[in-house]
Amino acid sequence: MTGHAALLDDLQAMQKQSDGSLTLLLVDAGYPGKIIAQHGQQAADDLLYQVATLLKNFCRKKDSVSRIGDHTFAVLLAGVSKSGHTVLAAEKIMRMQREVLETSDSPVRLDLSIGIASFPRHTKSPEDLVQKARIALEVARDTKSGYATYSPVVAATMASKWDLQQELVAAIETGSLELYFQPKVSAVDRQPVGAEALMRWTSLKHGPIGPDIFIPLAEQAGLMKDLTRYAINAALRQASEWPDIGRPLAVAVNMTPESIQDPDLVDIVNSALSIWGAPNRELVLEITESALVEDSENSFATLYRLRELGVGISIDDFGTGYSSLSYFKDIPASELKIDQSFVLNMLTEEKDRNIVETVIWLAHRFDLTVVAEGVESVEILEALAGMGCDVAQGYYFAKALPQEEFIEWLIDQSSKTARA
Ligand code: C2E
Ligand code: CA
Ligand code: CA
């Protein structure tokens, strides 16, 4: 019998015994997939063992605990259904988790989420109870709140999220996501050196939805691999249509932490480069600093292979992660992008200006090209050029433009140079 079927049986049996009031806590132990990649199978097994022990210690005699999925446990609390009591129970599990954390020297940290639903408050059907606890669990995970109790409002929020996710799946399948291009310009001679591809989605039901919303949605739905493959191919295809302006133009594609952990990434890049006939050095992959810190061993190996092929590797949002200086020694990057939060106010905030200046100096010591993001005025551009910054990107030049407008912008720039 599977974990799920056994749980339904337990639910029915306990429902009969315990005057019909019963609470199901679905306890999720984080993401062992990622843990296995980082610390090995043994660490993931240890983690699950810790969770099972914690939950057994928590349960009273009449309660029960079972494992119902790779990293999900079901706790049944007999005779408990009042919301105050179920919340106390969830808080007690969270407290026990903190105690384990304080005493454990394991490299993997417990990070539990709990979804709560009760008989007869939320439903009388065992199937439905499990479904409702799953919805609550998803909310707890999404909001990182630790635990959440089922309610119709919570269910409606999740339903619209799943709805949007479904629409996103269809949009990826039909290729209706678009890439826009934002120019990257030399800070020295103000000539274009390439562009960053930024994804745009217009949902049929909800209108334009920003990447800040749909990229995390795609990550949660396991769609990132498809989306990244699509972005790399679409970016190279469209870059192959850009006019010749007498110097090479590189196209940059954004990667999520998950995309650089994908063992197929090198093959995806290689085949896209050969399909679209682009020189390898004209593709840049932008990777946030925090993505590298998260799983440096595996991602560094992939990045080294890409660098050997000549593909550019850019460290995005630099300054917002937690990297140490020793990380510079080994990083297989060719470019560093100073996060816009330091650039936007660098003329008025002395501290920001100092950071920008220091990062430029540091990056050059490691032979990295420096790009400043968020350049919104000519004054900032001039200040950056004075500090030796190589490339600038921001609204001063252009926002992200659809392909045709980007091509017009390129032509416009070269005619300006020809006239000068
Ligand atoms: P990012 O890679 O840091 O992209 C820069 C963001 O700053 C873009 O927002 C861009 O429009 C905005 N920006 C550019 N110049 C300026 C400026 O001068 N001032 C200000 N205030 N903002 C400026 P966008 O397009 O909304 O993208 C947000 C984030 O979504 C990106 O941050 C990137 O992390 C992610 N993203 C976008 N497209 C993709 C994609 O195809 N794949 C992946 N994995 N992530 C993507
Ligand atoms: Ca970027
Ligand atoms: Ca950035």
Give yes or no for residue 339 CB within 6 A of ligand 1: no
Query: What is the reported pLDDT for 32?
Result: 66
- Nearest ligand (C-alpha, residue 227): 1
Asked whether 213 lines ligand 1 (CB < 6 A), one says no
pLDDT, one tens digit per residue, over 118-166 is: 999 999 899 999 999 999 999 998 888 899 999 999 899 888 888 899 9
Report pLDDT for 231. 96
* 216 touches ligand 1 (CB under 6 Å): no
pLDDT score, position 143: 83
- Tell me what pLDDT residue 2 has: 63
CB distance 208 to ligand 1 below 6 Å: no
Ion ligand 2 nearby residues (CB, 5 A): 254, 286, 316
For the CA of 184, the nearest ligand: 1
Q: How far is the centre of ligand 2, averaged over its atoms, from the C-alpha of 108 (Å)?
A: 30
* pLDDT at position 322: 66
* Contact call for residues 289 and 315 (beta carbons, < 8 A): yes
What is the three-class DSSP state of 145?
coil
CA of 172 to the centre of ligand 2 (A): 20
The CA distance from 409 to 283, in Å, is: 20
Looking at residue 17, its pLDDT comes to 79
φ, ψ of residue 402 to 5 degrees: the values are: -65, 155
The reply to whether ligand 1 has any atom less than 6 angstroms from the CB of 211 is yes
User: What is d(CA 132, CA 74) in angstroms, rounded to the nearest whole number?
Assistant: 13
CA 198–ligand 1 middle distance (angstroms): 6
366's tokens: 């490691």
Taking the centre of ligand 2 as the mean of its atom positions, its distance from the CA of residue 285, in whole angstroms, is 9
| H and E: helices and strands count for the chain | 17, 15
Mutation probe of ligand 1 site: the residue of 198, 201, 289 with most atoms within 8 A of C-beta: 198
Say what the pLDDT of residue 38 is. 72
Q: Please state the atom number of ligand 1 nearest to the C-alpha of residue 375.
A: 18
Report whether residue 395 contacts ligand 1, using a CB cutoff of 6 Å.
yes
Residue 387 structure tokens: 């500090």
With a cut of 70, which residues of the chain have pLDDT below it? 1-2, 18, 31-35, 37, 293-296, 322-324
SS3 (DSSP) at 242 = coil
pTM of this prediction?
0.81
CA 371 – ligand 3 centroid, Å: 10
Answer yes or no: is the C-beta of 192 below 6 A from any ligand 1 atom.
no
- Cβ neighbors of 116 (< 8 A, separation 6 or more) are 23, 24, 25, 26, 86, 87, 90, 133, 136, 147, 148, 149, 150
Q: Edge-to-edge strands of the sheet including 22-28?
A: 64-67, 72-78, 22-28, 113-119, 147-149
CA 289 to centroid of ligand 2, rounded, Å: 11
- With both helix axes pointing from N to C terminus, report the angle between 3-17 and 126-143 in degrees, rounded to the nearest 10: 110
| Nearest residue to 67 via CA among 127, 136, 10 | 10
Q: What are phi and psi of 414, to 5 degrees?
A: -70, -30
Q: How many CA atoms lie within 13 A of 18 on its CB side?
A: 22
341 Cβ closer than 6 Å to some ligand 1 atom: no
Could you give the CA distance from residue 357 to residue 393 in angstroms, rounded to a whole number? 17
- Our answer on whether the CB atom of 374 is closer than 6 Å to any ligand 1 atom is yes
317 lines ligand 1 (CB under 6 A): yes
